[in-house]
């Protein structure tokens, strides 16, 4: 009998332990020892989060709260230490911060904008960016979270952070996704996915961009609440069981937009393709989001020429979290209209009426690419006439390719003995070579696309744009002045210093594309681990970036300046992972641009920019 009792107790204990794998630390600071901060409804916010988590399977005894006078800097440090001791491998951890956030001077040179973000504890003091005490800097918070991730590492382990405070974007500096100060553009210091096994995956919800304010306002209950906390809890409460953090984030954004439109832009960081508090899913194919409806059968899509969308491109609209478009029917079809096609947005005509809710929540996939006026002329040179004829027929099915005997071809496809293919430029540069087994190799198609994409980007000119930005390159050691063209550097040895200066009267964000000698395009800035929101220049502001090039040849660097942050790497996650080893941006571009026009044919009106050419030598 006693053995049975012990066994029963062990079973109960095991069951309880199995249920106790979700931990939460909720910190709400709405009252302060310092009078400069206004009072916040943090207690209500923490209670709302607590109730939401209890409904989602968290146990009361595993939820710790620190509210107002209890949330001193010292108590926060202790709470983290205590939580660290309670976590076992494979546990889920949720951290919630509700309070004031400030920006202070960066103390370890890891910030692009030279400002650290900091959370204000109950005893925090803030006079200005230099004079402050007891603040919880992003670097400190990042270290705490690194330790929690290390403890939770294991099957099912996960750390989710909800940071609801002003300037919260990038508020976890060094939490595994960020660079050290020495490299810029940086390299990942640690994988946010946790795939290496040493730390649990991380997903972070920030209430606003680093330079933005976060707001507390009256919500539908008539009570005051910080918007991210309210939107997160409300969305989490109504979420489908198979929803991911990606769709949770999108719902949060829509709810906040309902209240304050785009005055406050939440950010998502880390790995969005996990079920909420659950397992990992495959990343979805690249997709777009709807900005707004235009009448009953038209809408504005958040994607344009820079994302590879051309007039006539056919689109499919699916519910959120659709990962396999072959298994369900789309809720609507659409096509990119001629009118309203811009660099960053386009107008889409729908085949049927969509409700505003369905449209705003939908994931939009490309069904059939159209190339508009862009094309490239190609010639086939085959030593075997029969193979040459087959190749011409196969190439003629590629909509962007034309056989124009009246003018010199821009690409030459050579075939030898019907088995070997090589793609060359007219001056003999080989872009690709490989075997031929009767069908066009996908790599060949991709190489042609890359060629066209690179040429389109090279042709971008921004002379008429009001968003004027200075962009030049130099070698720091030489002391030579920066030059916009013709800089020659040695590969892997010499550092190239890129100078960026905002010459416009607007606040501008910028991204730098690198088109290499083999016509491959990649995003140089923001580098991995950085958010586009951090590459922001006030009027007259300057910034420098150090880069090295590892392959010889001519590099064309295209800087694109916009009024709002644009992530050409990924439509949704600002610091997410790449898609299946290939960059999202490259996938979008993969079948996009066809151009026969002269250099400089495109004049940016929504975007500004500049070009730098660097010759990389041995």
Which residues in this chain contact other proteins in the complex, by CB under 8 A?
35-38, 40, 99-102, 126, 164-167, 207, 213-218, 224, 226, 257, 259-263, 291-295, 298, 300, 344, 506-507, 562-564, 606
Residue with smaller CB distance to other proteins, 270 or 565: 565
Structural tokens at position 341: 């096609």
Residue with smaller CB distance to other proteins, 257 or 559: 257
- On whether the CB atoms of residues 170 and 212 are closer than 8 A, the answer is no
Smallest gap from residue 131 Cβ to other proteins (A) = 12
Residue with smaller CB distance to other proteins, 343 or 432: 343
Structural tokens at position 11: 């079973």
Smallest gap from residue 84 Cβ to other proteins (A) = 27
Using CA atoms in the order 124, 125, 131, 133, what is the torsion angle rounded to 10 degrees? -30
Smallest gap from residue 114 Cβ to other proteins (A) = 18
How large is the greatest C-alpha to C-alpha distance in the chain, in angstroms?
97
Smallest gap from residue 571 Cβ to other proteins (A) = 16
Residue with smaller CB distance to other proteins, 351 or 443: 351
Smallest gap from residue 161 Cβ to other proteins (A) = 16
What are the φ and ψ backbone dihedral angles of 414, each rounded to 5 degrees? -100, 140
Residue with smaller CB distance to other proteins, 239 or 298: 298
- On whether the CB atoms of residues 173 and 182 are closer than 8 A, the answer is no
Smallest gap from residue 447 Cβ to other proteins (A) = 34
Q: Which residues contact 391 (CB under 8 A, 6 or more apart)?
A: 380, 382, 413, 415, 421, 436, 440
Smallest gap from residue 414 Cβ to other proteins (A) = 46
Q: Could you tell me the CA-to-CA distances from 384 to 153, 401, 404, 420, 480 in Å, in that order?
A: 59, 21, 21, 11, 54
Looking at 357-444, which runs of residues are DSSP E strands? 363-368, 376-382, 401-402, 411-416, 420-424, 430-435
Residue with smaller CB distance to other proteins, 513 or 561: 561
Residue with smaller CB distance to other proteins, 210 or 409: 210
Residue with smaller CB distance to other proteins, 37 or 530: 37
DSSP one-letter string for 497-543: EEEEEE-SSS-EEEEEEEE-TTS-EEEEES-TT--GGG-EE-TT-EE
Q: CA 58: distance to chain centroid?
A: 30
Smallest gap from residue 9 Cβ to other proteins (A) = 47
Cis bond before residue 185 (omega within 30° of 0): yes
How far is Cα 113 from Cα 537, in angstroms, rounded to an integer?
8
- On whether the CB atoms of residues 359 and 293 are closer than 8 A, the answer is yes
């Amino acid at each position: 009998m006693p053995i049975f009792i012990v066994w029963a107790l062990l079973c109960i204990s095991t069951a309880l332990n199995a249920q106790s794998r979700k931990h939460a630390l909720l910190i709400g600071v709405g009252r302060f020892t310092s009078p400069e901060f206004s009072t916040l409804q943090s207690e209500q916010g923490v209670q709302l989060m607590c109730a939401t988590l209890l409904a989602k399977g968290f146990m009361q005894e595993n939820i710790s709260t620190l509210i107002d006078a209890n949330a001193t800097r010292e108590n926060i440090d202790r709470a983290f230490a205590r939580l660290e001791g309670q976590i076992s491998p494979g546990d889920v951890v949720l951290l919630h911060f509700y309070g004031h956030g400030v920006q202070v001077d960066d103390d370890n040179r890891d910030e692009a904008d030279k400002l650290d973000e900091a959370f204000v504890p109950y005893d925090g003091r803030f006079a200005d960016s230099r004079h402050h005490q007891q603040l919880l800097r992003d670097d400190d918070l990042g270290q705490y979270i690194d330790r929690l991730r290390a403890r939770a590492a294991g099957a099912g382990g996960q750390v989710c952070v909800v940071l609801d405070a002003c300037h919260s974007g990038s508020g976890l500096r060094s939490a595994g996704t960020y660079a050290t100060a020495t490299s810029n553009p940086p390299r990942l210091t640690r994988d946010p996915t946790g795939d290496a096994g040493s730390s649990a995956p991380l997903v972070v919800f920030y209430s606003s961009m680093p330079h933005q304010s976060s707001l507390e306002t009256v919500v539908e209950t008539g009570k005051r609440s910080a918007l991210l906390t309210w939107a997160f809890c409300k969305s989490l409460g109504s979420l489908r069981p198979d929803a991911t953090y990606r769709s949770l984030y999108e719902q949060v954004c829509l709810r906040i937009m309902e209240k304050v439109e785009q005055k406050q832009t939440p950010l998502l960081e880390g790995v969005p393709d996990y079920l909420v508090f659950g397992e990992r899913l495959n990343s979805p194919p690249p997709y777009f989001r709807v900005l707004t409806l235009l009448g009953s059968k038209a809408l504005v899509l958040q994607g344009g020429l820079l994302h590879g969308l051309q007039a006539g491109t056919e689109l499919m609209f699916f519910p959120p979290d659709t990962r396999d478009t072959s298994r369900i029917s789309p809720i609507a079809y659409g096509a990119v209209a001629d009118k309203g096609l811009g660099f960053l947005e386009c107008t889409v005509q729908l085949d049927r009426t969509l409700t505003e809710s369905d449209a705003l929540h939908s994931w939009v996939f490309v069904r059939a690419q159209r190339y508009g006026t862009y094309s490239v002329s190609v010639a086939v040179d085959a030593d075997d006439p029969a193979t040459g004829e087959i190749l011409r027929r196969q190439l003629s099915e590629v909509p962007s390719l034309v056989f124009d005997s009246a003018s010199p071809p821009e690409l030459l496809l050579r075939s030898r003995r019907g088995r070997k293919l090589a793609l060359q430029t007219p001056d003999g540069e080989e872009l690709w070579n490989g075997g031929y087994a009767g069908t066009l190799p996908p790599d060949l198609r991709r190489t042609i696309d890359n060629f066209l994409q690179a040429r389109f980007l090279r042709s971008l000119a921004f002379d008429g744009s009001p968003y004027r930005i200075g962009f030049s390159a130099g070698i720091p050691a030489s002391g030579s002045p920066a030059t916009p063209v013709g800089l020659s550097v040695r590969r892997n040895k010499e550092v190239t210093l890129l100078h960026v200066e905002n010459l416009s009267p607007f606040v501008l964000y910028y991204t730098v594309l690198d088109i290499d000698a083999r016509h491959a395009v990649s995003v140089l800035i923001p580098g991995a681990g950085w958010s586009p929101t951090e590459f922001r220049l006030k009027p007259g502001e300057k910034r420098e970036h150090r880069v090295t090039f590892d392959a010889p040849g001519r590099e064309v660097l295209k800087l694109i300046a916009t009024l709002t942050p644009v992530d050409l790497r990924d439509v949704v996650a600002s610091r997410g992972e790449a898609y299946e080893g290939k960059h999202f941006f490259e996938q979008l571009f993969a079948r996009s641009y066809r151009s026969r026009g002269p250099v400089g044919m495109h004049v940016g009106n929504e975007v500004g920019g500049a070009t730098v050419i660097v010759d990389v030598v041995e």
